[in-house]
Amino acid sequence: MTDLNRDALFIAGTWTKPATDAVLEVVSPHSEEVVARVPEGSTADIDAAVAAARKAFDEGPWPRMTPAERIDVVAALSMSYAARLEEMATVISTEMGSPISFSNLAQAPAAWMQIEAFLTIAREFPWEATRPGALGADVMVRHEPIGVVAAIPPWNVPQFTVLSKLVPALLAGCTVVVKPAPESPLDCYVLAEALLEAGVPEGVVSIVAAGREVGEHLVRHPGVDKVAFTGSTAAGRRIGAICGEHLKRCSLELGGKSAAIVLDDADLASTLEGLKFLGVMNSGQACVAQTRVLVSRDRHDAFAASLAEMIGGMKVGDPMDPATEIGPMVAQRQQERVEKYIALGQEEGAQLLTGGLGMPDGLTKGWYVRPTVFSGVDNRMRIAQEEIFGPVLSVIAYDDVADAIRIANDSEYGLAGTVWTADAEAGTEVARQIRTGTIGVNTYTMDMAAPFGGYKNSGVGREFGPEGLAQYTEAKAVYLSSPPME
């Protein structure tokens, strides 16, 4: 891999010297060694980026192009991005520890798939349509760009989450300032190169990696019209409060504590295989992870034992090893957080079936935790109510299907979920009763043609689909003629 060190920021579509000498050190979660140093953005850098985005929106060609013209530029971005998928996957695994198998499956390709999906949606989107008015006159409804967008992705799936904001914003005619997380600034340098190659006009996109205080400066900035954020519920509440104070548009994709409901007729082998991915995908660092496994009381013990045997046998280690299934946590603080929850589960009286505290076998360094399965979990326990963001699963017994639905809904979150059954019709009926933004029957996938987002504390607004594109527009009504006077 090429040298990952950088000495410039991507502001207004050009490589720009940062306002200060502050540096972000990117530390490998596997080796605990510094793998790159890049500029740490300051409030002055944010001010420059917003000023450029404001000028490009207020005076530049981008929002005044036709949708077809913007689609052509984003299509060029898709081609440029596709050529960098292998590089992108390697960079993400290097900076935040995602297993390379997952990066090659989801971190890079699934991010690129969003570009293609949004291009299809944009070609069919009703940018301007006329409808009959209630008073007799026709009304034109226009979807116009919302303005300058602050896009703030997290570190766990950095490109997947940044493109879910950047691409629809660009197609809508917005200009964008991206603030990557300080743990994962490197992948956006690859993105910037793709943007340059695609010919995105000057000023339309800036990328400034920085920490929380500089991020709040961006959120509060009077030149920003909308904030699009993915991250923790606590940070989302803070951003939502600031946006509410300034009547600023915002969309928030936040945490989850999703339930996988295993009905009694579910096939054991296929259900376990599904949960192997959905329960601990990205080493458990995924907001949609199915970390509460609901099983009938009669099947609880046998199913929990099989699940523990499978999870306990997963390969933990070097994220660059194609055989690795569980990589490290992104940072030492995250490792410590997950281990505190493992200890808490034992204190709360849950039965530890596999995993537990201490480094996985064969590893002496890196921010690793043991893949862990608890059984006999009461849904009121903190390990069942709070988002852990690590490879920790809780098996919870239910009495009947109505009880399973009650337990699944007994959560402050409502982001994802699954139902496992041999009867797809019955599974769909259960899915209808779960208060969550997305749910699958014998499967789960984030389909970019469908809206993605959460109920309750899992967020506000939707990403993907026409609904996600509409989040970056303002709807304007144009009255075309006057109704006849009586």
Catalytic residue among 183, 253, 339, 387: 253
The predicted structure's pLDDT at residue 2: 76
Confidence of residue 485 (pLDDT cuts 50, 70, 90): low
Query: Where does 173-231 have alpha helices with state H?
Result: 187-198, 212-220
Structure tokens at 243: 């946006």
Residues 306-321 have pLDDT tens digits of 999 999 999 999 999 9
Quote the strand ranges of 196-238, DSSP E.
205-207, 226-230
Residues 87-112 have pLDDT tens digits of 999 999 999 999 999 999 999 999 99
Q: 243 an active-site residue?
A: no
What stretch(es) of the chain map to CATH 3.40.309.10?
259-448
Tens-place pLDDT, residues 202-257: 999 999 999 999 999 999 999 999 999 999 999 999 999 999 999 999 999 999 99
Q: What DSSP state is assigned to residue 63?
A: G
Q: What is the mean predicted confidence (pLDDT) over 280-289? A: 97
How does DSSP assign 315-344, residue by residue?
-BS-TTSTT-SB---SSHHHHHHHHHHHHH
Q: Which of 3, 35, 105 is nearest to 324 (CA)?
A: 105
pLDDT for 61 beyond 60: yes
Angstrom distance (rounded) from CA 366 to CA 35: 14
**pLDDT score for 242:** 97
pLDDT in tens, 23-33: 999 999 999 99
Is the pLDDT at 484 greater than 70? The verdict is no
Provide mean pLDDT across the span 144-165: 98
C-alpha dihedral sign at 186, 188, 190, 196? negative
Please state which of the ranges 21-35, 61-75, 89-103, 470-484 shows the lowest mean pLDDT.
470-484
The pLDDT, as a whole number, for residue 481 is: 81
Tokens describing residue 282: 């990205």
Token match 């993605």: residue?
452
**Which neighbouring-strand residues pair with 304?**
none
Q: What is the pLDDT confidence band of residue 273, given thresholds at 50, 70 and 90?
A: very high
In sequence order, the 6+-apart residues with CB closer than 8 A to the CB of 415 are: 254, 255, 256, 258, 287, 288, 436, 437, 438, 453, 454, 455, 458, 459
CATH homologous superfamily for 259-448?
Aldehyde Dehydrogenase; Chain A, domain 2 (3.40.309.10)
Q: How large is the average pLDDT for residues 77-92?
A: 98
CA-based radius of gyration for the chain: 23
User: Which H/E stretch holds residue 235?
Assistant: helix 233-245
- pLDDT per residue over 344-399, tens digit each? 999 999 999 999 999 999 999 999 999 999 999 999 999 999 999 999 999 999 99
| Residue 1: per-residue pLDDT | 57
pLDDT bin (cut points 50, 70, 90) of residue 483 is low
Per-residue pLDDT, averaged over 425-449, amounts to: 97
What fold does the segment set 9-254+459-477 form as a domain?
Aldehyde Dehydrogenase; Chain A, domain 1 (3.40.605)
* 174 among known catalytic residues: no
The pair of structure tokens assigned to 394 is 């809780």
Q: Above pLDDT 70, what percent of the chain?
A: 99
Q: Boundaries of CATH 3.40.605.10 in the chain?
A: 9-254+459-477
Q: Provide DSSP, 125-178.
A: S-SEEEEE-TTSSEEEEEEEE--EEEEE--SSSHHHHHHHHHHHHHHHT-EEEE
Inter-axis angle of helices 67-82 and 187-198, nearest 10: 130
User: Which of the residues 174, 188, 250, 287 is marked catalytic?
Assistant: 287
| Contact by Cβ (8 Å): 285, 156 | yes
